[in-house]
């Protein structure tokens, strides 16, 4: 399992896990957040490693389809980029305006 796929699945889980069934959520969390092996997950749930693998693949596909349709992660990253540019501009051009700088920081923190 590559780190980038793990990161991608964890981000998708952060955004969409409430849309998954309890079973889907459980397997994905065990595998991606808890870093359990297929064998460990199979033992916990009393199923085969192949069944865990199949469930993970289906659940990953569902997460990817949610992002394809809803684009919440994409929008979040765009918003973060725009906020960073705004913060940089304000810091550069309105350094002395403490209130404006504090408001920008609040917006950035609230968006995370």
Percentage of the chain with pLDDT > 90?
Answer: 82
- E strand spans, the chain: none
pLDDT at 107 > cutoff 60:
yes
Asked if residue 2 has pLDDT above 60, the reply is no
The CATH number of 3-70 is: 1.10.10.10
User: Where exactly are the structural domains of the chain?
Assistant: 3-70, 74-110
pLDDT in tens, 9-19: 999 999 999 99
**pLDDT tens digits for range 26-58:** 999 999 999 999 999 999 999 999 999 999 999
Name residues whose C-beta falls within 8 Å of residue 91's C-beta, 6 or more positions apart in sequence.
101
Contacts (Cβ under 8 Å, ≥6 apart) of 97: 90
């Amino acid at each position: 399992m590559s780190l980038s796929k793990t990161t991608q699945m964890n981000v998708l889980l952060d955004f969409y896990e409430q849309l998954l069934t309890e079973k889907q959520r459980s397997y994905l969390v065990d595998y991606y957040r808890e870093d359990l092996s297929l064998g460990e997950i199979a033992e916990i749930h009393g199923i085969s490693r192949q069944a865990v693998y199949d469930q993970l693949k289906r659940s990953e596909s569902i997460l990817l389809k949610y992002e394809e349709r809803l684009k919440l992660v994409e929008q979040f990253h765009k918003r973060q980029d725009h906020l960073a540019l705004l913060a940089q501009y304000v810091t550069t051009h309105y350094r002395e305006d403490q209130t404006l700088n504090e408001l920008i920081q609040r917006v950035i923190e609230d968006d995370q």
